[in-house]
Amino acid sequence: MQNSFPYIDILIFGVIAIFLIFRLKNILGTKTGFEKSNINEKTQDKQFTNVVSLKSEKNDLNDKELNGILSVDPNFNINDFLSGSKNFFRMVLESFVSGNLENIKDFTKLSVLKSFKTAIDERNSEQETLIIDLKSIRENKITKVKITKSSIKLNVIFETFQIRALLDKNDKIIDGDSENEILVKDEWVFERKINNNTPNWTLVETKSN
């Protein structure tokens, strides 16, 4: 009888390990619609994500608006969407500062992408350097929902603390402050096509206050 105890322990630990693996797979498998797409046929069927669900975020959605979204997109989850939108917000800022829009082009409307490109080209022509250091996101919430026969549009507010400065070709500050944080309020509009094979959301409009 005593020799059987080690085998019981191994069985118990094995069950626990299987449970933990199953839970981890469920958490990391969450999709937000902001994942990087891959057109390589060998990897086309794989699903990629680096977003883990966060705790509930404050938002202004009422039950009617939420039910309206769920009626056309049963897989929609507010926390997952907001988590993904924050990651994408950081990605856009980094791309805009670096001048390389490759990482965001699949999730950005062409007209918005062209506006970014124009601003980058003007900055480069003047040999200016842009500094944007995102320190923290104070608020991130959905403020408006618009559902049509073909799409869902969500207005999202980002209130962030940033260090922003623009330097001339001699590295002299011509706008902003390279040391002190400022509160920046942005409103972005995301759109998702209904009855589309891809779950991706697209940035279709940006506003800054």
The whole-number pLDDT of residue 22 equals 40
> Which residues of the chain are modeled with pLDDT < 70?
1-60, 209
pTM for the structure as a whole: 0.72
39 vs 30, 42, 43, 70, 122, CA distance in Å? 20, 9, 8, 28, 32
Report the pLDDT value the prediction gives residue 19, as an integer from 0 to 100.
41
- pLDDT at residue 68, rounded to an integer: 92
Rounded CA-CA distance 141/144 in Å is 9
What residue spans define the domains of the chain? Answer: 55-208
Q: In this predicted model, what pLDDT tens digit does every residue of 44-77 receive, in sequence order?
A: 332 322 222 233 344 668 889 999 999 999 989 9
pLDDT at 18: 44
Q: Which of 150, 140, 127, 134 is nearest to 95 (CA)?
A: 134
The pLDDT value recorded for residue 35 is: 61
Q: Name the one residue in this structure whose structure tokens are 């959905």.
A: 142
Quick one: pLDDT at residue 36?
Answer: 53
Question: What does the pLDDT read at residue 103?
Answer: 95
Q: What is the pLDDT of residue 56?
A: 37
* Angle ∠(74,78,84) on CA atoms, nearest 5: 110
User: In this predicted structure, what is the pLDDT of residue 198?
Assistant: 79
DSSP secondary structure string, the chain?
-GGGHHHHHHHHHHHHHHHHHHHHHHHHT---S-PPP---GGGTT---------SPPP----HHHHHHHHHH-TT--HHHHHHHHHHHHHHHHHHHHHT--TTTGGGB-HHHHHHHHHHHHHHHHTT-EEEEEEEEEEEEEEEEEEE-SSEEEEEEEEEEEEEEEEE-TTS-EEEE-SSS-EEEEEEEEEEEETT-S----EEEEEEE-
| Domain covering 55-208, topology | Nuclear Transport Factor 2; Chain: A, (3.10.450)
